[in-house]
Structure 1
Amino acid sequence: MSRKLRWSKYNFTFDSEKHGVFIYNSLTNSLMTADPEFATHLPEIMKNPDSFDFSQWFQPLSEMLKNRVLLTQEDEDDFMITMKFRKTASRFDSSTMGLTLLVTEKCNFKCPYCFEKINDPADMSDEVIDGLIRFIETFMPLKSIFITWFGGEPLLRPDIIRKVNQRIMDLGVKVSSLIVTNGWLLNDQVIDMLDELNATAIQVTIEGPPEIHNQTRIHKSRGDSFHVIQQNLDRLMLERKWKGSLIIHYNIDDYNADHYAETIEYWKNRYPDGRVLTGKNFVDRDKRGSRDGSCSFSREREIEYYLTQYRKNGGMGLSYYPVRHGFGCIATKRNGFVIGARGQVYKCWHDVGVEDRQIGSVFTPPQKWNWSIISRYMSGVDPFDNPECRECFLLPVCEDCPHIWYRKKYMGQDVSLCARYRENLARFLEIHYERKQVEEGKC
C-alpha cells in the first residue's frame, strides 16, 4: 500500500470570520488554527500534500502529522480498524460484568416524565436474589462486577441492597457501584452503607431552584422535595465528608431550560472540592411520561438551546466540543444486563417494564433467552457497520446510543442518530475556541 501522505477524510476545515482558519480532526479529536499565510496553501495541501514544499512550514507540518490531519491511507485504515476492534473487544469482554439492579420497582416520587410504567411494582425477593446469584455464577470466573443500584427508588430498600451486595461479594469478585436515587432517603444509615458497597458515585436529579425543581420532583405524600434533598446532600458531602462523586442530573425541558446553568453553578459552588459531576437529558415537555421521553427533545431544539445558552451565559455547564466516547453502555456488553425486581432480564434501562423487550429471566437458562434482542443490541446497532456512517467524517466521535439506534432501526421511529454538533460543527468549535481563550486569559 502507498506510503504517500494524504488529507484525512476525517478532517473538517472552516474559516471563522473572527478567528481565522481552523482544522479539526475527529480521529484524534484535535483542533488547530492555521496561520493566515499558511491557510492560503491549504487547497494545494488538501489536493496533494506529498508534492507541497513544507520547508518554510515545519511547525504546522509537525502539528498536522501529530493530529493525523495528514497521514497515509494505511495509517488511516489501521486507526479505524483498531478503534472498531477495541469497541468489539470491549463488548465481548468476559472478565467483567455490568449489572443494573432494580432492588425495588416502588418509588416515593411521582415524577411526570418517568419512563418506567410498571403495574403492581414489586421488591426483589429472596427467591429472586437466589436466582440472581445463580445467574451471575453462569458467567464466572469474573474479575469484577460494577453494579448500578436502580429502581424505582432503591433506597426504599437498603436492606435488600445490603443483602444482594454481600451475596455477590461472597462469590469472591471485586464489586463497585453507583446509586441512582432521588435523594430523599439519603440518611445517616445509608451513608454508613456506602463504603460497604464500594460506591464510587451517587446520582441525584435536581431540576432547577426550589420553585422549579418542586414542580417535577414531587414526593408522593410530602410534595416539595428540594430542601430535604439539599439537607441530605449537605450531610453527605459536608458533614460526613464522603469521598465519592456526586452526579447532579438535570432533565432539561422548556419549563426549566433557563435554570440549568445556575443550578450547576449552585451545586458546584456548594461543594467546591471538584467532586460534583453533571449529567443531563433533553425532555420534550409535551411527551413527559412517554416511554422514550428522555430522548424525545428534538435535535433542532437541543442545538438551539446550546447556542442560546452561549449567548446568555457563555454556555455554563455545557460542552461544545466533540467527545470521544468510551465503550461503556451495558446494552452492548456481553455481560451487561438490567435485572428487574421479579428477576426479569433486559439489555437497556429504557426497556424496563416493556414485555416484548425482555430478553429472559434469572430463572431461565441462557439458551431460552430472546437472542434476537441481544444480537440486535450487541451487533445490530453499531455505526461502524452502517454504510452511511462509515463515510461520515465524525464517525470516530459518534454519539452512538444503542437505544436510539434500536428505536430507529428495529422500531421504525423517527429519531436523530447524529451528534448535535454535526450540522453546526463550525459554530460549536468556534465557541469552544472562544471559551478556551477566556479560560487562558487571552481575551
Structure 2
Amino acid sequence: MGIKLSRYNLEVPDDGGVFLFNTYRGTSVRLSAEQMALMKEVAGRMGADGADAGEWSAVVGFLVENGFAVPGDADELAMAVEKYDTTVSDASSLSLVIAPSLKCNMKCYYCYEDKSSEGALDAEDLDSLLAFISSRLTANGTLGITWFGGEPLLSKPFITRAADEIRRICDAMGVRYAFRMVSNGYFLDAATAAELAACGITSVQVTFDGSRQEHNRVRRSSLDHRPGEPSFDRIVENIRSASRHLRILVRVNVSRINIDQVDTLLEQLAAAQLQDHISNVYFYPVFNFNVSDESTNYVPKEKIHFTMTDFARMERNLIDMATGRGFKVFVPLIFEAGYLGCYASVSNGFVIDHRGRILKCDHELGGGGAAQTTIRDFTGIEDDDELRKWSAKRPESNPSCRDCVFLPLCYAHCPHSNLALPDQPPRCPSYKYNWKDVFPIYLRDRTPA
C-alpha cells in the first residue's frame, strides 16, 4: 500500500526555509530547503511499492503522525468531508449569536441591518431564552455566545442578567462556556466593562473605520441629544479603561474610501499607547449587503468596496503596518483544528434576534429572514425546508472547492453568500489569494523548528 504525501500539504516559503503546513490536520513544521527535499525523497521511496522505511523510519513516522503523509489508498477528500459532517452534527457544542435589539447609537453608511425594526428582548423573554438554551445544551458540552446588535450595550441590563442566568445553567450541567460581544465601544467605559466581566463576558470586539477624521465621519452619533457627536477619542479612552477587565479585539474596516488612512489610524492608536490595551488587531473589507435589497448583496460597488482579491493584495502590508506600530495581529481561527468557517453551518448554531426569532445567520437580522421558530413559542427545531437549505449546503459540491487545498480550512467559506448566489463562484477568503505572504506571520509563532 505504501504512503503518499497529503494533498492538503502547503509549502509556505519563509526566509530561505519553508513551513510545511497541513490544512486538514492543522499541523506545521519549519524546514530548510534541504530537509524538505529529503522528506519528499523519503516519501517517494515509501510510495506504491511500500518499501521498508529502514534508516528513514523516524522521518516516515513523523510524516504520518502529523498528517503530512497518508496511506497510499487514502481518500483524503472523503476524510475532509467526513470531518465536516462529524463537526456540523455535533450536538454537544451550541453556538449562539444573540441580538437583544437592533437599535444603535451610530449610523454607519454600510450597515446592513434595518435599525427601524421595532422590538427588543426584555425581562419577559428571559425565561424563554433560558428554556431554549437549556433544551439545546448537552451535559459536559460547550456553549459559545456572541452578544450582538445593533449596539448590544443599549441592552446591557438584559445581557448582564441573562448571562448570569445562563452561567448558572452551564455550571449545573458541567458545560464550558465562552461569552463575547461585538460593540462599537462608545458605551464601553470602565464601569460597564467591569459589569460585563462580572457576568462572564471575557472579550469585546471594537471596530474602527479609518483615522480619527474618517472614523468620526462614518461612526457619527445618532443619539437625539448628541447628534453627529465624534466618537473616536471616547472609544480610544474606553479601550484603555475597559482593557483592565476584558480582552479587546480591534477590527479595522477597510474600504476604498479609507484605505489611505489606515496607517494614520494605527499611528493614532499607537500615540495613545494602546499596544498593551488591545489584545489583537485585524483587518476586513467592508462588503455590500443590505437586508432590504437582496439583488445587490455581495456585489462590490466600484467606488466603495474592494473585491476579496484586491483586499488580499493589500492585507500583508496592512498587517505589517500594525506590527510595525507594536500591535499584535489576530491569528485566524483557521489554524484551530475543527474550525468550519462559520457557525451557520453547524446544526446546533443559531441566531436569536430582537423579536425572539430563531435564525441561522446574522445576515438575516433586521430582514424578512426565515425563522425556524421563536423562543417565545419554542417546542423544537423542525426539519423543514428552511433548515434543510443550510444542511444541504455541501462544501464539496463546487468543483473549485472540492479540488482546493484549503477545503479543510474554510469548507466553502460563507454559506449565506453561497446560498444567496448559488450560480456564482464561491466567495473565497483572502488567504486563498495571499497565503504565501500572510501564513508565515502566523506560523512563525506556533511552529516547532
- Normalising by the smaller structure, the TM-score range is 0.7 to 0.9
Q: Look up the match of 2:280.
A: 277
Amino acid at match of 1:224: P
- Which stretch shifts more, 162-171 or 308-317? 308-317
> Contact 1:338–1:346 (CA<8 Å) still a contact in 2?
yes
Where 1:138 maps in the other structure, the secondary structure is helix
> Contact 2:417–2:427 (CA<8 Å) still a contact in 1?
no
Amino acid at match of 1:254: R
Q: Deviations over 1:398-422 (max 9, x none)?
A: 3643xx3333245436354334343
| Match runs of 1:350-365 below 5 Å | 350-365=363-378
Q: Distance in 2 between matches of 1:348 and 1:194?
A: 25
Q: Distance in 2 between matches of 1:213 and 1:380?
A: 40
Q: 1:267 to 1:369 in 2, by over 3 A?
A: farther
Amino acid at match of 2:280: L
Q: Look up the match of 2:255.
A: 253
Q: Please give the root-mean-square deviation of Cα atoms over the aligned residues, in Å.
A: 4.5
TM-score normalised by structure 2 residue count: 0.76
Q: Look up the match of 2:350.
A: 337
Where 2:126 maps in the other structure, the secondary structure is helix
- Which stretch shifts more, 211-220 or 304-313? 304-313
Superposed displacement of residue 6, structure 1: 1.9
Q: Look up the match of 1:136.
A: 133
User: What is the total number of aligned residue pairs between the two structures?
Assistant: 426
Q: Deviations over 1:105-160 (max 9, x none)?
A: 21111011111124343222333334323333433555554322221111112222
Q: Distance in 1 between matches of 2:387 and 2:69?
A: 39
Superposed displacement of residue 364, structure 1: 3.4
TM-score normalised by structure 1 residue count: 0.77
Q: Deviations over 1:368-405 (max 9, x none)?
A: 8573232232x22342465553332332223643xx33
| Match runs of 1:27-426 below 5 Å | 27-29=24-26, 30=28, 32-33=30-31, 35=33, 39=37, 49=47, 64-65=63-64, 68-74=67-73, 76-77=74-75, 84-139=81-136, 142-143=139-140, 145-169=143-167, 171=169, 172=172, 176-220=178-222, 221-237=227-243, 241-242=244-245, 244-260=246-262, 263=265, 267=269, 270-273=273-276, 276-284=279-287, 292=297, 297-306=306-315, 309=318, 323-325=334-336, 326-327=339-340, 329-366=342-379, 371-377=384-390, 379-384=391-396, 386=398, 388-398=400-410, 400-401=412-413, 404-409=414-419, 411-412=421-422, 414=424, 416-425=426-435
Q: 1:157 to 1:289 in 2, by over 3 A?
A: same
> Contact 2:212–2:265 (CA<8 Å) still a contact in 1?
no
Where 2:335 maps in the other structure, the secondary structure is coil
Q: Percent identity?
A: 22
Superposed displacement of residue 282, structure 1: 0.8
Q: Distance in 2 between matches of 1:434 and 1:88?
A: 27
Q: 1:409 to 1:179 in 2, by over 3 A?
A: closer
Q: Gaps (5+ residues) in structure 2?
A: none
Q: Deviations over 1:159-188 (max 9, x none)?
A: 222333344345446654212211111234
Q: Distance in 2 between matches of 1:393 and 1:371?
A: 33
- Which stretch shifts more, 96-105 or 311-320? 311-320
Q: Distance in 1 between matches of 2:293 and 2:119?
A: 21
Where 1:250 maps in the other structure, the secondary structure is strand
Q: 1:264 to 1:374 in 2, by over 3 A?
A: farther
Q: Distance in 2 between matches of 1:407 and 1:256?
A: 25
Q: 1:129 to 1:212 in 2, by over 3 A?
A: same
Superposed displacement of residue 348, structure 1: 0.9
- Which stretch shifts more, 47-56 or 261-270? 47-56
